[in-house]
């Protein structure tokens, strides 16, 4: 019995690094290293950061449009599934950024207007994509995330327009500064 337990533990130890490596291999990164670097560099400029996310999401949506007309195959389905998952991840990340910037009272109106327009285009493309078993769930998740971001950006643009009309001295700020 003791030998069986020792063997089981040894086997688990041997297999554990392989499963960790496999999981690391499968973890997708929706942005390339140069894109990640651009996002980092724009970290102190909320408008630029939102504009970069918008641009990178546009690129993923264009990739989906390019794949839509191709012949149906397993690799096409996999690529569409990957692109849709990337879109969902980026949209969710952008939404989190908007939440943070909203709490800081950063003036994002310059980036929110183009973002609001872009989300409409993205949703159009995602809804036009025919449903297929290989990526249907990812498509639904991307559409749901896209709708949430569209609502969030439209609402935030309205709120910011109202806020900065009342607080003209705070226009263009990256964060609200304490009044002293």
- Tens digit of pLDDT for each residue in 102-147? 888 889 999 999 999 999 999 999 999 998 999 999 999 999 999 9
Total number of domains in the chain: 1
Domain holding 114, by residue range, is 32-170
- Tens digit of pLDDT for each residue in 84-107? 999 999 999 999 999 999 888 889
Specify the pLDDT at position 105. 85
**Residues 95-134 as b or e (16 or more Cβ within 10 Å = b):** bebbeebbeebbbbbebbeebbebbeebbebbeebeeeeb
92 assigned to some structural domain: yes
Q: How far apart are CA 94 and CA 52, in angstroms?
A: 10
166 assigned to some structural domain: yes
- Tens digit of pLDDT for each residue in 44-96? 899 999 999 999 999 999 999 999 988 889 999 999 999 999 999 999 999 99
Q: How far apart are CA 53 and CA 117, in angstroms?
A: 14
Would you say 126 and 144 are in contact if contact means Cβ atoms under 8 Å apart? no
Specify the pLDDT at position 171. 86
Specify the pLDDT at position 27. 72
91 assigned to some structural domain: yes
66 assigned to some structural domain: yes
48 assigned to some structural domain: yes
179 assigned to some structural domain: no
pTM here is 0.81
């Amino acid at each position: 019995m003791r030998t069986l337990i020792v063997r089981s533990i040894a086997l688990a130890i041997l297999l554990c690094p392989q499963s960790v490596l496999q999981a690391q291999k499968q973890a997708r990164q929706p942005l390339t290293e140069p894109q990640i670097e651009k996002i980092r560099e724009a970290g102190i400029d909320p408008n630029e950061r939102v504009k970069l996310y918008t641009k990178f999401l546009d690129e993923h949506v264009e990739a989906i449009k390019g794949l839509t007309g191709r012949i149906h195959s397993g690799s096409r389905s996999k690529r569409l599934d990957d692109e849709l998952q990337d879109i969902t991840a980026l949209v969710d990340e952008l939404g989190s950024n908007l939440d943070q910037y909203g709490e800081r009272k950063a003036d994002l109106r310059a980036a929110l207007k183009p973002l609001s327009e872009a989300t409409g285009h993205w949703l159009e493309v995602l809804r036009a994509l025919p449903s297929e078993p290989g990526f249907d769930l990812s498509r639904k998740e991307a559409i749901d995330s896209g709708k949430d971001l569209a609502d969030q950006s439209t609402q935030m643009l309205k709120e910011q327009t109202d806020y900065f009309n009342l607080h003209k001295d705070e226009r263009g700020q990256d964060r609200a500064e304490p009044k002293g």
